[in-house]
Amino acid sequence: GENVEQHPSTLSVQEGDSAVIKCTYSDSASNYFPWYKQELGKRPQLIIDIRSNVGEKKDQRIAVTLNKTAKHFSLHITETQPEDSAVYFCAAPLFMEYGNKLVFGAGTILRVKS
Amino acid sequence: SQTIHQWPATLVQPVGSPLSLECTVEGTSNPNLYWYRQAAGRGLQLLFYSVGIGQISSEVPQNLSASRPQDRQFILSSKKLLLSDSGFYLCAWALPGGRHYGYTFGSGTRLTVV
């Protein structure tokens, strides 16, 4: 089955600096890699995703890179702002006989200090 | 557009009491549906998922159960709550089929068992 490892577990950066969160996965059949942001007391929300046919995707200050050979993908946040403070989860799919599911990493607590 | 509704938002229940949490999705047909639990400060634990009416897959053996009486309705139940059932319960939906799409989470139910 799929195993997703996420690092670091906590990350503190100064406002304006960049933040990088890394995840590794085990199933070479995985083809879709989303990232979720969860603010305190709220639901996780999809912020960016990447499919296995591309190596990088950007959306304003957020980017995700994928290395299929090494089975790892990363979230990059540039010019961090206090509102970026949250828990971030990466995920990869596990395909099963009945449907499929996302396997989530353990999460990274990002703190942006102003 | 698709929307997901989850209720109640908060719940305080005594140990040994029953539980029923409901989730409904609008604007799509035959969605994949999921129940997750999140303990305080922890990651996302998949409890149940369903790919169709009457089909339920259980991830973790426990005193919880799930049902899908209608295409877009997913219910999480317990006959007798334990203290360890406290947590943040999240329902999620995804498009069906082999091409994986990201989840959309409901707003969650914060359950405190006392």
Q: What is the DSSP string of A2-21?
A: --EEEE-SEEEEETTS-EEE
Q: What is the pLDDT of residues B72-99, one digit of tens each?
A: 999 999 999 999 999 999 999 998 875 6
Q: Which residues of B touch A88 (CB under 8 A)?
A: none
User: A34 CA to chain B: closest CA distance, Å?
Assistant: 7
Please say whether the beta carbons of B27 and B42 come within 8 A: no
Residue A99 backbone class (left: φ over 0; alpha: ψ -120 to 50; beta: rest): left
Q: For residue A110, how far is the Cα from the chain centroid?
A: 12
Maximum Cα–Cα distance across chain A: 48
Name the residue in chain A with its Cα closest to that of B55.
A98
Q: Torsion over CA of A38, B37, B45 and A90, rounded to 10 degrees?
A: -10
Tens of pLDDT, residues A60-97: 999 999 999 999 999 999 999 999 999 999 999 887 77
Alpha-carbon distance B70 to nearest alpha carbon in chain A (angstroms): 17
Rg (CA), chain A: 14
HSE-CB of A68 using CA atoms within 13 angstroms: 12
Interface test with B, best of A6, A47, A95, A100 (most B CBs within 10 A): A100
DSSP-assigned letter for residue A105:
P
State mean pLDDT over B32-61: 89
In this prediction, residue B62 has a pLDDT band, given cuts at 50, 70 and 90, of: confident
Alpha-carbon gap, residue A79 to A64, rounded angstroms: 15
